[in-house]
Structure 1
Amino acid sequence: MIRNTKTFAIGLVMLLSFALCYVGMMSPNFGNGRNGLNYADDMFNSFSKGSSNFIKESTKIAESQKGININLTIKASSAAEAVKWGKLYSVAGAAVTTKDSSLTVNGDLGKILGSVVSDSEFMYNNDGKSVEAKYGYDAREATNNWNNSFKKIDSALKAKSQFKEEAALSKIVQKALEPGYNYYGVEIKKVSENKASLAFLLCFYLLYTVWYGFGLYYFFDGLGITVSKPKKKVEV
């Protein structure tokens, strides 16, 4: 039963307009079949990509490992995957032996990490073709193969108590490989050059949240549903 017609009407109008705005936001009218949420996600990803370039730092880490040899045997999930992993390490200058799904890598850790940093830079700059030219197959798959094989290398280094080498490898994954893979295909945008767009998105998000909250408040107030503190009992 409606107890306050005015606040009920205000709340109803606010909720209906909120719903219409939501439908418009979720429609694929923001370019390339994207809806409003996709557009906002892409925008913020572009902003964050600009502050996630650690290639120079990663290059220094890789160079610090030059001259350190690793000789490890790791296991892929299949013989076909082992061959693809082997291609990565061979191009990096390591001696590679494959047997079924097992892969033995004997080479300079610094050169291997340097090759990963180089591939990560290509991916970060959306240049997947250069990675494909090196290995002869899809760039994202090649980058993912680096990551998967590094998990095995990481465990093998720990087993041999080569903790300094393992730490260097982990840093390369975090600062070069993951950003390169995750931001592949994302356009870099600087906040300083897109202040108006960023301000609009933040203000709209704030307004949209408040809009929905007050819509609910007025709607339920019109129905007589309110929240109040319980009255304190008077002790006799």
Structure 2
Amino acid sequence: MSVVRNKKTFSIGIGLLLSFVLVYVGMMSPNFGNGRNGLEYADDMFNSLSKGSAYFIDEAQQVADSQKGKNLNLTIKASSPEDAEKWGKLYTKAGAAVTVKETSVTIDGDYGKILGAAVADSDFMYHNDSKSVESKYGYDGREATYNWNSSLKKIEATLKAKSQFQEVFQVTKVQQKAVEPAYNYYGVEIKKVSENKASLVFLLTFYLIYTMWYGFGLFYLFDGLGIVVAKPKKKEA
């Protein structure tokens, strides 16, 4: 005896699911440029559009400029002597007097210039220019950006312990607006939403339709098999 209760809806369900699988196989093929499949292409596109909307370097520079003339004098600790030496290079290039002793880094310099140096390096990295940063410090630009972030967090914690909350607020903004996006988006191509509206609309529309495609395929398949959701009958008293 056949388990199919409704051949029409069963056939529609099978057709939708088979076409869904065929489209999926096509999306998984490396035919979307640079050996990427469809999911990788879409992921790269959204990352690029996200990066194009995350350029806050100008805001971070304004924060740095507002701190010029303020002195920063404190000691922070790195996780190793090697990291301490690399941190020291960052702040020395920023114009501060730096003393490195084992894992301790003592910094004495203009707070605004230090923040400005972090912003300038972040701008290079945001535009995927690691070589300009590497030429300043003698080691990898992305590592230097990571070191900026790590050391600025130590400065943030030290300033917080001293109840210098205004300075904490400024260093946090530079981290969030400049250093972190520069590190996280390094290597990602910059694309603006305003210049890629058609691609964005297509991807979002396709995602919506493709999700519904699968859902309706299952719905018609189960309906054809006679598997439906029904309200439970009320028990009579």
Q: Report TM bin, short chain.
A: over 0.9
Q: Name the CA distance, whole Å, in 2 between partners of 1:135 and 1:164.
A: 29
> Is 2:150 aligned against 1:148?
yes
Query: Equivalent residue for 1:220?
Result: 222
Q: For 1:171-207, what per-residue CA distance to the aligned partner results, in whole angstroms no more than 9, with x for missing partners? A: 0001111111222222222223222212211111111
Instruction: Decide which of 22, 30, 33 is 2:32's aligned counterpart.
Output: 30
Query: Equivalent residue for 1:198?
Result: 200
Unaligned runs of 5+ in 1: none
TM-score by length of 2: 0.94
1:105 Cα deviation from its structure 2 partner: 1.3
Instruction: Decide which of 155, 160, 176 is 1:158's aligned counterpart.
Output: 160
Q: Name the CA distance, whole Å, in 1 between partners of 2:32 and 2:189.
A: 16
Query: Equivalent residue for 1:69?
Result: 71
Instruction: Decide which of 199, 207, 210 is 1:208's aligned counterpart.
Output: 210
> Is 2:56 aligned against 1:54?
yes
1:95 Cα deviation from its structure 2 partner: 1.1
> Is 2:89 aligned against 1:87?
yes
Q: Name the CA distance, whole Å, in 2 between partners of 1:86 and 1:11.
A: 65
Q: Name the CA distance, whole Å, in 1 between partners of 2:190 and 2:60.
A: 20
Query: Equivalent residue for 1:9?
Result: 11
Q: Name the CA distance, whole Å, in 1 between partners of 2:82 and 2:51.
A: 33
Unaligned runs of 5+ in 2: none
> Is 2:185 aligned against 1:172?
no
1:30 Cα deviation from its structure 2 partner: 1.3
1:82 Cα deviation from its structure 2 partner: 0.7
1:234 Cα deviation from its structure 2 partner: 4.6
Query: Equivalent residue for 1:134?
Result: 136
* % identical aligned pairs: 71
CA RMSD across the alignment: 1.4
Other structure's SS at 1:103 match: strand
Greater Cα offset, 191-200 or 220-229: 191-200
Query: Equivalent residue for 1:183?
Result: 185
Query: Equivalent residue for 2:41?
Result: 39
Query: Equivalent residue for 2:126?
Result: 124
Q: Name the CA distance, whole Å, in 1 between partners of 2:107 and 2:22.
A: 59
Q: For 1:126-155, what per-residue CA distance to the aligned partner results, in whole angstroms no more than 9, with x for missing partners? A: 211111111111111100011111111111
Other structure's SS at 1:198 match: helix
Q: 2:96 corresponds to which letter in structure 1?
A: A
Query: Equivalent residue for 2:105?
Result: 103
Q: 1:63 corresponds to which letter in structure 2?
A: D
Other structure's SS at 1:228 match: coil
1:40 Cα deviation from its structure 2 partner: 0.8
Other structure's SS at 2:115 match: helix
Q: 1:55 corresponds to which letter in structure 2?
A: I
1:27 Cα deviation from its structure 2 partner: 2.4
Q: 1:23 corresponds to which letter in structure 2?
A: V
Q: 2:120 corresponds to which letter in structure 1?
A: S
Q: Name the CA distance, whole Å, in 2 between partners of 1:152 and 1:28.
A: 44
